[in-house]
Amino acid sequence: MVGLLGPRQVGKTTLAHELLKMPPKPAGYLDLERPSDRAKLQDPELYLRDQAGRLTILDEIQLWPDLFAVLRSLVDERRRAGEKSAQFLILGSASHALLKQSAESLAGRIVYHELRPFNLREIAAPGGRSQHTSAQRLRDRLWVRGGFPESYLADSDAGSFLWRESFITTYLQRDLPMLGTRTSAEWMRRFWTMLAHQQGGLFNAAELARSLEISSMTVGRHLDQLTELFLVRQLRPYFRNVGKRLVKSPKVYLRDCGMVHGLLNLQSLDAVLAHPVCGASWEGFVIENILAVAPRDCRPWFYRTGSGAEIDLVLEFPDETLMAIEIKRTLSPKVSRGFFLACDDLNIQRRFVLMPEGPAFPLDARTKAMGLTEFLDELKMSPQ
| Average pLDDT value for the chain | 88
Residue 35 clears pLDDT 80, i.e. is over it = yes
Residue 87 clears pLDDT 90, i.e. is over it = no
Q: With 0.85 as the threshold, say if the pTM is over it.
A: yes
What does the pLDDT read at residue 98?
65
Percentage of the chain beyond pLDDT 90 is 57
Give the span between the Cα atoms of 252 and 223, in whole angstroms.
Answer: 9
Q: What is the pLDDT of residues 333-348, one digit of tens each?
A: 889 999 999 999 999 9
Cβ neighbour number for residue 121 with a 10 Å cutoff: 14
Could you tell me if 343 and 351 are in contact, meaning their C-beta atoms sit under 8 angstroms apart?
yes
**107-129: average pLDDT:** 80
Residue 105 clears pLDDT 90, i.e. is over it = no
**CB neighbour class for 111 (10 Å; exposed up to 12, middle 13-18, buried from 19):** exposed
The gap between the terminal CA atoms of the chain, to the nearest Å, is 26
**212-227: average pLDDT:** 90
Q: What is the pLDDT of residues 283-303, one digit of tens each?
A: 999 999 999 999 988 999 999
Within the chain, where are the H helices?
12-20, 35-39, 44-50, 67-80, 95-106, 132-145, 149-152, 157-170, 176-178, 185-197, 205-212, 216-228, 257-263, 269-273, 278-293, 337-346, 372-381
Domains, the chain, with CATH or none: 2-114 (3.40.50.300), 132-381 (1.10.10.10)
Confidence of residue 96 (pLDDT cuts 50, 70, 90): low
Which segment, 9-13, 188-192, 253-257, is predicted with the most confidence on average?
253-257
Give the span between the Cα atoms of 86 and 254, in whole angstroms.
Answer: 33
Could you tell me if 313 and 290 are in contact, meaning their C-beta atoms sit under 8 angstroms apart?
yes
